Amino acid sequence: MKKKIFITIILTILASPINVLAESRLDEILQNGVLKVGTTGDWNPMTIKNPSTNEYEGFDIDIVKELAKDMGVNIEFIPTEWKTLVAGITSNKYDMSTSASLNTKRALAAGYSNSYLNYYQVPLTLKKNLSKFRDWDDINNEDVKFAVTLGTVQEQMAKDFFPKAKITSIESPARDFQEVLSGRAEVSMTSNIEAAALVNQYDQLAIIPVKEQRNPTPLAWLLPQNDQVWINYINHWIELKKSHGFFENMKIKWNLQTQ
């Protein structure tokens, strides 16, 4: 009797839906013919929404379009913000994000692809204020107004780097550097990638010539944490494209200065 009960329990467990392998996001994308990509559209030159065309452009945009082409599917860009970037992955709003900094807090909830680009942090100010700031320590002052964008890795870094400064978090679609341009803040901080684009775009902005680079950080795509099949496919694709020189060509096209 006990043996029959045991066999019945085992058969029930094996037949339970919880033990049926879940379909990978990769299968779903191929079946639906659409790759959904979450992007903020506010990080020049990685992802920018062109106001004249209402289309997304940039280094990241070119890369995910190439991914969709190789998969033989269409691409759909889903607007998001930095503060909701991870939530869009965990709620299945999109299949992946455009590039995000590797961050231990984000990794608690979302998976990451292999990295394909590195950057480091640089501070920005107005050219007329350069005489006030020559290195990182000059920013860590209670009289300094420092702007960060809510939900970015720079928000936490600023709190760690500059505990004495008056730090203000700016919510999207506004950006931290706009606070510097307006004079409401004296300093902001971003990647060397974006900083190079910003000083070209706004003549009054300048990169503070700090002596040492801080927080070299890899960039990668956010992916569903529990879908190893989809993560594996993306990682294989990245490594193949690296070997073919695709990422280097994209860096040249978008004039990216990276480590």
- DSSP codes joined into one string, 138-174: HHSSTT-EEEEETTSHHHHHHHHH-TTSEEEEEPTTS
State the maximum Cα–Cα separation within the chain, in Å, rounded to a whole number: 88
* Spatial contact of 228 and 25, defined as CB atoms under 8 Å apart: no
Banded model confidence at residue 12, pLDDT cuts 50, 70, 90:
very low
Domains of the chain: 24-117+217-253 (3.40.190.10), 123-216 (3.40.190.10)
* Strand, helix or coil for residue 81: coil
Q: Which helix (H) or strand (E) holds 240?
A: helix 228-243
Q: What is the pLDDT of residue 10?
A: 39
Q: Regarding predicted confidence, which is higher, 4 or 87?
A: 87
Tell me the C-alpha distance between 57 and 149, whole Å. 21
Taking CA 255 as the corner, what is the angle to CA 114 and CA 88, rounded to the nearest 5 degrees? 40
The pair of structure tokens assigned to 126 is 């107005």
What percentage of the chain reaches a pLDDT higher than 90?
Answer: 75
Q: Place 234 in a pLDDT band, splitting at 50, 70 and 90.
A: very high
Reported as a pLDDT band with limits 50, 70 and 90, residue 91 is: very high
Average pLDDT for the chain:
90
Average pLDDT over residues 247-253: 94
Q: Is the pLDDT assigned to residue 253 strictly greater than 90?
A: yes
pTM (2 decimals)? 0.77
pLDDT of residue 216: 86
CB atoms within 10 A of CB 217: 18
**Band of pLDDT at residue 6, cut at 50, 70 and 90:** very low
Tell me: pLDDT of 259 over 50.
no
CA 94-98-101 angle, to 5 degrees, is 120
Q: How confident is the model at residue 257 (pLDDT cuts 50, 70, 90)?
A: low
Of 144, 202, 205, 147, the C-alpha closest to 172 is 147
